[in-house]
Amino acid sequence: MIFDDAPIADTEGALLVHSLRVGARVFKKGRCLTADDIEKLQDAEYVTITVIRYEGGDLDEDSAAALIAEAAAGDNTEASSAFTGRANLFARDHGLLVYDADALDNVNLVHESATIAALTPFEVVQPKQMVATIKIIPFAVPDAIANACASIAAQDGGLIRIAPFKSLRAGLIQTELPNTKPSVLDKTVRVLSDRLEALDGTITLEHRCAHTQATLTTAITEMNQTDDDVILITGASAITDRRDVIPAALEAAGGRVDHFGMPVDPGNLLMLGALDGTPVVGLPSCARSPKLNGFDWILQRIAAQIPITPRDIMRMGAGGLLKEISSRPLPRATATKGATNSAIVTPPSAPKVAALVLAAGQSRRMGAANKMSAIVDGLPMAAHAVDAVLASKAAPVIVVVGHEPAVVRDILGSRDVTIVENKHYAQGLSTSVICGTSALPDDASAFLVCLGDMPRISPAQIDRLIAAYDPVEQRAICVPTYNGKWGNPILFDRRFIEEIKGLTGDRGARHLLDIYPELTCEVAMPDDAVLLDVDTPEALAKLAV
């Protein structure tokens, strides 16, 4: 890769290293400069600029990031489209994040230019939560580096995977002494039920017995006759030795004690064993509290059906000091029941980007026929646009109809879209955009404004716009480009809804790009589909050529 300060006249086809203001617009770093761009830069009196040019064997940052991300995406994860050299991995299921830390290090040790960062191994994750990010540091890397990283990341079916929680059925035995308060045992049931619920599990049966080896042995034997996936035992007195009541009772019932104690505090006095293949856990006293403790780490792995060996437990000391850590959130079930904890934060997740497909216009330039029903490659034009959006990561999909609404409804048939009718469509495009934004769900972070007369748009192009969206990085508006020209669809952060409500006439929201150039991100596309809309019979005829 050539990195150089070059005269403006010699930079066509090069990539801009630093963002530049050119009149009312901003040319963002990474822009591939066209002849038209060079003319504008010269008009703005730039003489030299810093650019890069690819050399043989170079792989551009997005292609390299996508290559490594796809290789690293294991079971129950999915990779986003790459943008600015970054591709993220998201969880598809509720479960535990699983990866080999040494293998992740090996990817990062290939070369400084290619990196992967992930959440802590065995962290509980939710669907659509970001679990890892792949970032290429420069604008390009040698393909040998990208391939070496991808080869390591692809081992064992993908470096990063999610072990989903199964519907765990737990039997609970509580021992009691003469001075044990029933209210303590009742609270323990509630707290443990919340823990199980947070992992998609439940307590199916609870049994209380005296804190003696004989009575507990009988209780364990009876509990083992059920179809529970795990047996949990809370003692009226904490386990202090392998020969104490709970371990001894388990062995007397025919089970075994695999491990006692763990390098996690709170949670040191935990026992892990088994009876006829069913895990048996002797709980530390701290398990009666909703605060995070070592028992949570064991329960999570059991719920995700991840085998636990004594060595696994003995290696939990790194990060195992859990006392007084304000950033540790409450279990999900507790937090959602009104518990307050200022340290609870929302984990990064895939943004919810809705899509508006505008199909309400009268299409006067097309003649008498409704252009939404014009056949392109065997399908009505509106169906092409809607199908592309449905196949992308955008959801939900809202279709705005107006002129001949029954025609468009018939075209869309049973497709999974929400149809809203714009009664004021004759007053111009602005009314359709306003109508569509009024139907957006409250939890949508952003929305795409798509045109129903763009039959060549692809799901990949839409996903590339979504991948570019990052309001924290000042990418609140994402517009596709081809050879430097703006196209459609355009993605807007929901912050712009109020301004859009002020639109009038046959005007869309494109003017916001001029008002907010610092928030606008130009997303280069590989073909001119983003520029191609069908407004005339001549344009329709060209599609068949």
pLDDT digits (tens, 9 = 90+) for 165-192: 999 999 999 999 999 999 999 999 999 9
pLDDT score of 331: 41
With a CB cutoff of 8 Å and minimum separation 6, the contacts of 495 are: 471, 476
Task: Please answer whether residues 164 and 76 qualify as being in contact, where contact means their C-beta atoms are separated by less than 8 angstroms.
Answer: yes
pLDDT in tens, 492-542: 999 999 999 999 988 889 999 999 999 999 999 999 999 998 877 777 877
pLDDT band with cut points at 50, 70 and 90 for residue 440: very high
Minimum mean pLDDT range among 338-342, 389-393, 430-434: 338-342
pLDDT in tens, 380-393: 999 999 999 999 99
Side-chain half-sphere of 417: how many Cα atoms within 13 Å? 31
Of 132, 84, 36, which is closest to residue 469 (Cα–Cα)? Answer: 84
- For residue 376, the cross-strand partners are 379
Minimum mean pLDDT range among 93-107, 169-183, 360-374, 453-467: 360-374
Task: Please answer whether residues 200 and 167 qualify as being in contact, where contact means their C-beta atoms are separated by less than 8 angstroms.
Answer: yes
Q: What are phi and psi of 116, to 5 degrees?
A: -140, 130
State the DSSP code for 269. S
pLDDT band with cut points at 50, 70 and 90 for residue 24: confident
Taking each helix axis from N to C terminus, what angle separates 143-153 and 101-108, rounded to the nearest 10 degrees?
Answer: 180
pLDDT above 70: percentage of residues in the chain: 94
With a CB cutoff of 8 Å and minimum separation 6, the contacts of 74 are: 99, 156, 157, 158, 159, 160, 161, 162
pLDDT band with cut points at 50, 70 and 90 for residue 332: very low
pLDDT score of 191: 97
pLDDT score of 493: 97
pLDDT score of 346: 58
Pairing type for strands 418-421 and 397-401 reads parallel
pLDDT score of 325: 47
- Which token pair is 32? 């591939």
Domains defined along the chain, listed by start: 2-53 (3.90.105), 60-164 (3.90.1170.30), 169-335 (3.40.980), 353-543 (3.90.550.10)
pLDDT score of 507: 84
